[in-house]
Amino acid sequence: MMDAWVVARPGPIATNPLERTRLPVPEPGPGELLIKVEVCAVCRTDLHLAEGDLPPRRPRTVPGHEVVGRVTALGPGTEGPAPGTRVGVAWLRSTCGECRYCRRGAENLCPSSTYTGWDADGGYAEYLTAPADYVYPLPEDLPAEKLAPLLCAGIIGYRALLRCDLPPRGRLGIYGFGASAHITAQIAMAQGASVYVMTRSPAAQELARELGAVFVGGSADTPPEPLDAAILFAPVGELVLPALEALDRGGTLAVAGIHLTDIPVLNYQRHLFQERTLRSVTANTRADGREFLRLVAAHPPRITTTPYPFDAADRALQDLAADRVNGVAVLLME
């Protein structure tokens, strides 16, 4: 048996939707690995699952999809990685490999895709299983606590950066400055971008300044120059309007989140005309993940983490809901 947390009663975080429980250690199926969890980072999507913004796909699922751990066993017919290998388990758990999206390199759009911590048990537990083809080998020389946030916050933020079509050395607006945003900002700056951060939290504003943002303002403030591109990380539909309005002609706004509150009515002239573009970001491909992990292995971003003991997973989600986490909350198994 093992310790785990499950989403027992999806609902507002104040109603304690998570329940601490004991479950049998899972058996890896064909093509799968059994992985012992070292660290699981806490993602805003875990909060959306706990609160029911993303409806459960099966009852009493273990959340968590930013897992750093070690392979302890291989299922029948599974070829590598060998037991003892350090691996990361991310949000995308499987795709069909055969549909038109998978065949054209857009497996993030596969209608049969499954997700860690939603369609299958995730990393708020001592062990989890994952298909070997979908885990990422991880370097040994970085602490697990700093690697875990890369697996969703990092990878999805990187896909959002690709989707917003930022020109070389361009001006990038970032709306909301939590886990994903503070990693993405550093990747963009390392590539020569000027970063403008709009966020309501004073601690996040301070962090943005420290990391080198050229402008830091409140959540809907107007940046001093028009932006070539922008990413909306805050799950707040109202912010789509000021973000579109801040774009230069031809600029693109990418919405990074899996969940967004309703977008108010747009005014064509103010928000879209002059060929401004509004785009969503849907999960990521394994190629995005591998490319991102290669980039960060060469230039590791400074990642601010707030550690929580495994016993305090519910408190970590409450703190995330109340904007009390600076950087990324991570659950430590030991």
Interacting residue ranges for Zn ion, rule: CB under 5 A: 43, 45, 95-96, 99, 102, 110, 152
Residue 12 contacts by C-beta under 8 Å, 6 or more apart in sequence? 51
- Shortest Cβ distance from residue 164 to Zn ion (Å)? 18
- Shortest Cβ distance from residue 169 to Zn ion (Å)? 29
What is the C-alpha to C-alpha distance for residues 197 and 209, in angstroms, rounded to an integer? 9
- Shortest Cβ distance from residue 305 to Zn ion (Å)? 15
Residue 80 structure tokens: 């590598």
Work out the angle at residue 320's Cα, subtended by the Cα atoms of residues 37 and 67, and round it to the nearest 5 degrees.
15
Give the DSSP H or E segment for 244.
helix 240-245
- Are the beta carbons of 175 and 239 closer than 8 angstroms? yes
| Max Cα distance, the chain (Å) | 60
- Shortest Cβ distance from residue 99 to Zn ion (Å)? 3
CB closer to Zn ion out of 96 and 263 = 96
CB closer to Zn ion out of 154 and 170 = 154
CB closer to Zn ion out of 92 and 216 = 92
What is the C-alpha to C-alpha distance for residues 19 and 139, in angstroms, rounded to an integer? 33
CB closer to Zn ion out of 159 and 271 = 159
- Shortest Cβ distance from residue 228 to Zn ion (Å)? 26
CB closer to Zn ion out of 97 and 218 = 97
- Please state, in angstroms and as integers, the Cα–Cα distance from residue 274 to each residue in 147, 154, 194, 247, 249, following that order: 40, 31, 22, 10, 5
